[in-house]
Amino acid sequence: MADPQLPYLLIDFDSTFTQVEGLDELADIALQGHPDRERIVGEIRALTDSGMNGSISFSESLRRRLGLLSARREHLPLLVEQLKTKVSDSIVRNRGFFEQFRGRVYIVSSGFREFIEPVVADFGIDADHVLANTFTYDADGRITGFDPENVLSQDGGKIEQLRRLDLQGKVYVMGDGYTDYQMRESGLADRFYAFTENVSRDAVVARADEVVPTFDEFLYQNKLPMTLSYPKNRIRVLLLENPDARAAELFRAEGYQVESVPGGLDEDELVERIEGVSILGIRSKTNVTPRVLEAANRLIAVGAFCIGTNQIDLVGCMQKGVPVFNAPFSNTRSVVELALGEIIVLARRIPEKNPKMHQGEWDKSAKGSFEIRGKKLGIVGYGNIGSQLSVVAEAVGMQVYYYDVAEKLQLGNAVKCRTLQELLQQVDVVTLHVDGRKDNTNLIGAKEFALMKPGALFLNNARGHVVDVPALAAALRSGHLGGAAVDVFPHEPKTNQEVFESELRGLPNVLITPHIGGSTAEAQRNIAEFVPERIMSYINTGNTQQSVNFPNIQLPQQQAHRLIHIHANVPGVLARINNVLANRHVNILGQYLKTNEHIGYVITDIDKEYEQEVIGELRKVEHTIKFRVLY
Ligand SMILES: NC(=O)C1=CN([C@@H]2O[C@H](COP(=O)(O)OP(=O)(O)OC[C@H]3O[C@@H](n4cnc5c(N)ncnc54)[C@H](O)[C@@H]3O)[C@@H](O)[C@H]2O)C=CC1
Ligand SMILES: O=C(O)CCC(=O)C(=O)O
């Protein structure tokens, strides 16, 4: 039964119902093997476009295209098969809508009935709701043109067709072409929706009542039943600090709107930009502070396109129901390789020799240079990076010592130190691979440098605030340390245009790099795939696996409707959710709950049959932070 609330909906076929233009595709099939195929198909496409954006009359465009086509009756079944695979994604997704509202939907097209009818029949649309042209053929089955009696073959044909339909009630038109808009212009239709999923024409978009990038958006705006809980085109992604282009590509392919800012943003700038943003993507420079979170009115998830997440108020995100995802191992190897390279480079005093050579100074000497073979490497922080460096360093003959605040599996012949002091006192090279937690601020200062052996080398590829930089500069200037490599700094420029200031500039045997430990093609590509995949999986299924601040739930395939409920972790919330469901006789197919000290995350899969009121009642459950439904 048609819903009386639904206006009549007239949908264009070519480039709206399907992703492509039927006649262009037909030309492609008919001209297989023709030496001039590409040129002719190109000409046909150009004529289609001119007709669609209104720059030549529709009838002229049609006549000239058919003249170029050389198609035959037997090409049509092939065309139909092809078009069935090219129905617009959001139309396919909402097949149920067409089946439910078939009586209110008309396909009004200047294309041809011969290929439209079988394609839309799969969506429950009957032949008498298809209004389109028909071909004419010669005795050999060659397509010679179109039936000139059909109003749709004439200029203004869609308007006349709509008049003849004489529909009583509201009429909405959705299409990509000028002739679709003309039905609205004539006053016979109440609204025109420019459909831009496949093609966006400026002249058409400019005149539309609404621009809908997908059919989901049309359904959402009109409060009609839809397959997705929320149109993906409404999900706005803000990417800062230049993650690999693959990230934007993946988000766009999912249908999200993506905006990129090449550098980092400071707090004020981010507060201004965050409104309306659903997914925020950052790297190490952008701080997601309580003020930023307060301004974030639509935030669904944060992606850290890096390992460290100390720049993000993780608890604040959690309390707002926002999971944070990072890429915990995508750049691990890159940092390890950099650290190993730095140890060798410092041990050979290359930071001093290289600039001299560039100035024409030949300083051949072995003074202060040594092999790393047999030397003692002290790794502070034996996590993913530290432990992988341990393996690689042993492979080149170093003796590894490590210190970690947590109990860690000892790899190879590495020697565990019970205290930081014990490690610092005995090794030739100290390398930091701790995380950036606040407590690690100034973990290494004057006292720790003094404990290190004279001539020891020091590396910081972890976080800038972990080291007291003036104390490091003093230890280098005094000659107590033999050299240092530093990739991370307490104050880093937000963009490549800002000047880098540090006490370490100009010191001998000091290698300073602009936070590039993870900046390799491999790492950046891996990160740009890993983080969007995690975020999209969360949005599409509720899966929080590998989130750094949310209870991790890896979910089975969704069985029916899925209710996703994030609440403050206080007693009784699950019971209240289940009370609502029980009172409304909703059948639970599966339920998954995990909590941490701040929040509870409960996923409930329920039968498709339930009253809409259930959703309203669940939203009102006390202590709810966020609630959404996945269909
Ligand atoms: N320079 C760069 O471009 C990059 C820097 N990083 C930094 O490297 C850090 C480490 O990365 P992963 O190894 O993947 O992290 P991880 O979390 O696997 O390892 C960190 C280890 O440090 C230990 N730790 C923390 N505080 C400590 C302390 N005070 N003393 C001793 N051990 C301590 C932890 O228990 C943990 O085992 C990241 O958090 C990030 O800050 C990561 C990637 C690139
Ligand atoms: O590449 C970046 O911007 C940050 C790398 C980093 O420090 C990390 O992954 O934690």
Ligand 2 binding pocket mutation candidate from 242, 261, 284, 466 (most atoms within 8 A of CB): 284
Residue 4 predicted with pLDDT over 60: no
pLDDT recorded at residue 55: 84
The residue segments making up the domain with residue 597 are: 552-630
- pLDDT at residue 292 above 60? yes
Identify the band that residue 5 occupies on the pLDDT scale cut at 50, 70 and 90: low
Contacts of 364 (CB under 8 A, 6+ apart): none
Mark whether 243 and 308 lie in a shared domain.
yes
Ligand nearest to the CA of 513: 1
Cα 488 to middle of ligand 2, angstroms: 9
- Residues 459 and 380: beta-carbon distance below 8 Å: no
CA distance 525 to 528: 5
What DSSP character marks residue 121?
H
Catalytic residue, candidates 515, 534, 562, 565: 515
Same domain, yes or no, for 41 and 170?
A: yes
Spot the catalytic one: 394, 492, 503, 617.
492
Q: Please indicate, yes or no, if residue 143 is contained in any of the structural domains.
A: yes
Burial class (CB in 10 A: 0-12, 13-18, 19+), 300: buried
Distance (Å) from CA 443 to ligand 2 centroid: 20
Ligand nearest to the backbone CA of 382: 1
Is there an atom of ligand 1 within 6 Å of 518 CB? yes
Catalytic residue status for 267: no
Please compute the mean of the pLDDT values over residues 269-292 and round it to a whole number: 97
Spatial separation of the C-alpha atoms in residues 546 and 524, rounded to whole Å: 19
**pLDDT tens for each residue of 179-237:** 999 999 999 999 999 999 999 999 999 999 999 999 999 999 999 988 887 899 999 99
Residue where a domain terminates, one of 294, 325, 356: 325
Same domain, 350 and 290: no
State yes or no: is 623 an active-site residue. Answer: no
- Looking at the structure of the chain, the number of domains it has is 4
Q: In this structure, which amino acid lies at residue 430? A: V
Residue 2: pLDDT over 70: no
Q: Write the CATH number for 340.
A: 3.40.50.720
**Percentage of residues of the chain with pLDDT beyond 70:** 99
Cα(117)–Cα(129) distance, integer angstroms: 9
Q: Which ligand is nearest to the CA of 433?
A: 1
- Whether 245 shows a pLDDT value over 90: the answer reads yes
Quick one: 425 and 453 in the same domain? yes
Does ligand 2 come within 6 angstroms of the Cβ of 331?
Answer: yes
Same domain flag for 21 and 88:
yes
For residues 314 and 357, state if they share a domain. no
Q: What is the mean pLDDT of the chain?
A: 94
Are residues 142 and 253 part of one domain? Answer: no
Q: Do the Cβ atoms of 69 and 143 come closer than 8 Å?
A: yes
Domain-located, residue 1:
no
**Which of 168, 198, 221 is the C-terminal boundary of a domain?**
221
In a domain? residue 538: no
| Residues facing residue 626 across a β-bridge | 566
Catalytic-labelled residue, pool 113, 463, 561, 567: 463
Two tokens, residue 422 = 């014990």
Question: Distance of alpha carbon 524 from its chain centroid, rounded?
Answer: 14
Taking residues 49-64, what's their average pLDDT?
82
Distance of CA 139 from the midpoint of ligand 2 (Å): 71
Domain annotation covers residue 537: no
Whether 308 lines ligand 1, by a CB cut-off of 6 Å, is yes
**Domain termination site, one of 166, 189, 221:** 221
The tokens for 82 are 């092809």
Write 402-407 long-range contacts (CB < 8 A, 24+).
402/378, 403/378, 403/379, 404/380
Residue 533 counted as domain residue: no
Mutate to test the pocket of ligand 2, among 306, 309, 492, 494 (most ligand atoms within 8 A of CB): 306
| Cβ-count burial 499-509 (b if 16+ within 10 Å, e if not) | eeebebeebeb
3-state secondary structure 505-570: CCCCCEEECCCCCCCCHHHHHHHHHHHHHHHHHHHHHCCCCCECCCCCCCCCCCCCEEEEEEEECC
Regarding whether 437 and 297 lie in a shared domain, the answer is no
Residues 591 and 620 in one domain: yes
Q: What is the pLDDT of residues 340-375, one digit of tens each?
A: 999 999 999 999 999 999 999 999 999 999 999 999
* Residue 463 bears catalytic tag: yes
In a domain, 526, yes or no: no
- Cβ of 448 closer than 6 Å to ligand 1, yes or no, is no
**Given a cut of 80, is residue 631 above it in pLDDT?**
no
Q: 560: domain CATH number?
A: 3.30.70.260
Give the distance (Å) from ligand 2 centre to CA of residue 431. 17
pLDDT value at residue 374: 98
pLDDT at 443 > cutoff 70: yes
**Same-domain check for residues 246 and 189:** no
* 571 burial level (CB within 10 Å; 0-12, 13-18, 19+): exposed
Residue 39 to residue 607: CA distance in whole angstroms? 55
Q: Is 193 helix (H, G, I), strand (E, B) or coil?
A: strand
What b/e readout covers 572-598, taking b as 16+ CB neighbours within 10 angstroms?
ebbebbeebbeeeebeeeeebeeeeeb
**How far is ligand 1, taken at its centre, from the CA of residue 385, in Å?**
7
- Length of the chain as a residue count: 631
In a domain, 88, yes or no: yes
Are 372 and 355 within one domain? yes
305, part of any domain: yes
Here the CATH number for the domain that contains residue 207 is 3.40.50.1000
CA of 416 to the centre of ligand 1 (A): 17
Note the pLDDT tens digit of each residue in 452-462. Answer: 999 999 999 99
Pairwise CA distance, residues 68 & 65, whole Å: 5
What's the pTM value of the predicted model, to 2 decimals? Answer: 0.84
Q: Please report the pLDDT score of residue 58 as a whole number.
A: 79
Angle at which helices 245-253 and 521-541 cross, to 10°: 20
- SS3 assignment, position 591: strand
Ligand 1 close to Cβ of residue 487 (< 6 A): yes
Q: Rounded to whole angstroms, how far apart are CA atoms 317 and 323?
A: 7
Cβ of 423 less than 6 Å from ligand 1: no
Cβ–Cβ under 8 Å, residues 430 and 448: no
Question: Containing H/E element for 332?
Answer: helix 332-347
Q: What is the DSSP letter of 142?
A: B
- Are 161 and 130 part of one and the same domain? yes
Is there an atom of ligand 2 within 6 Å of 309 CB? no
Q: How confident is the model at residue 299 (pLDDT cuts 50, 70, 90)?
A: very high
